[in-house]
């Protein structure tokens, strides 16, 4: 699993609360990604990072922010959680650059009530 961990693995929260998901890697991969997976939509990119403090938006970035202060950690924050953000969130890393193999974490199941 390329040394990628996600925490927490499961979380239930209430609408309007802030939530932070953490992705930690031990592979020293430069690129990191956050996806959400929903039935009928497959995987959709939320944000990605191409280096420490270098991040950019993906397809479904509204309502999410990210930070990467260290190579190994990539945080995803839901500023004010909504029920539409109930999903499974996956972190992925990539060693060499765009279009290379991506390695996925085990996922975080988030439920917003």
Q: Does 107 bind other proteins (CB under 8 A)?
A: yes
Q: Does 13 bind other proteins (CB under 8 A)?
A: no
> Which range, of 14-22, 41-49, 68-76, 79-87, touches other proteins by CB under 8 A?
41-49
Which residues fall within 8 angstroms of residue 65, CB to CB, at 6 or more apart?
A: 47, 76, 77, 79
Q: Does 34 bind other proteins (CB under 8 A)?
A: no
Q: Does 97 bind other proteins (CB under 8 A)?
A: no
> Which member of 58, 71, 73, 77 binds other proteins (CB under 8 A)?
58
Q: Does 54 bind other proteins (CB under 8 A)?
A: no
Q: Closest Cα partner for 33 from 59, 63, 62, 9?
A: 59
Q: Does 61 bind other proteins (CB under 8 A)?
A: no
Asked if residue 93 has a cis previous peptide bond (ω within 30° of 0), the answer is no
d(CA 106, CA 42): 16
């Amino acid at each position: 699993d390329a040394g990628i961990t996600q925490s927490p693995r499961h979380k239930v929260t209430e609408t309007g609360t802030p939530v932070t998901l953490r992705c930690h890697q031990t592979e020293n991969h430069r690129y990191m990604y956050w996806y959400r997976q929903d039935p009928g939509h497959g995987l959709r990119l939320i944000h990605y990072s191409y280096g420490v403090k270098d991040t950019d938006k993906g397809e479904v970035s509204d309502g999410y922010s990210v930070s990467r202060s260290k190579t190994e950690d990539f945080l995803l924050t839901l500023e004010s959680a909504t029920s539409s953000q109930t999903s499974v969130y996956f972190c992925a890393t990539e060693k060499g650059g765009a279009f290379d193999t991506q390695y996925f974490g085990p996922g975080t199941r988030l439920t917003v009530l």
